Amino acid sequence: QQVTALAENGSGYNVGLVNIDGSAARLQGGSFTGRGGESGQGIVNTAPGSTLEAESITALGEGGTGLNTGFSNRIEAAAVLRGGVFTGRGGDQTGGIGNSQDSRITVEDVTTIAEHGTENYSLGNYDGATMTVRGAAVFARGGEANYALSNEFNVTMAAESVTALAENGSSANYGMWNVNNAQATV
């Protein structure tokens, strides 16, 4: 409860919390930050059987040259996020919350922000994943291209009570991006 975790200035990956290989984590409050290097990530939940449940946390990934993301759920992992703020900032690509590679995630009453990267994906669902959203404020801004809600590559998304804003991209802004055999109920 109320943990502050910071990882920064490694040349490669800087991750505030990694939950991997069938592990289980339950978080109540607190702050998780990954900053600098090639990739800054607040939290990564990954690999088959890994589960993570969080309530009212802050997760920030920033300052990496490549990918910066607040929360990444991938490779057959499962997560439930209630409340909280998830931010990715700067670099080639940013993400507030990303769910991919046959993973499952439920988010309730969250705020996601992806900003000032070349491409910004605020709340994204990819590659066979399943996402359920019950209340979210979703922002993608700055850089070249912005995707507030992104749903692509054989995925399923069910979303209700979402405010999505994509703005100030120099080439493209999408409030919702639903492509490549994606199924969305909004």
Confidence category of residue 49, pLDDT binned at 50, 70, 90: very high
pTM, to two decimals: 0.98
Question: Tens of pLDDT along 122-181?
Answer: 999 999 999 999 999 999 999 999 999 999 999 999 999 999 999 999 999 999 999 999
When pLDDT is averaged across residues 66-80 and rounded to a whole number, the result is: 98
When pLDDT is averaged across residues 76-93 and rounded to a whole number, the result is: 98
Q: Which of 77, 80, 60, 52 is nearest to 15 (CA)?
A: 60
In the beta sheet, which residues pair with residue 158?
A: 132, 185
The Cα 114–Cα 141 span in angstroms is: 7
Instruction: Note the pLDDT of residue 84.
Output: 98
Average pLDDT along the chain: 98
Instruction: Note the pLDDT of residue 160.
Output: 98
Quick one: what percent of the chain has pLDDT higher than 90?
100
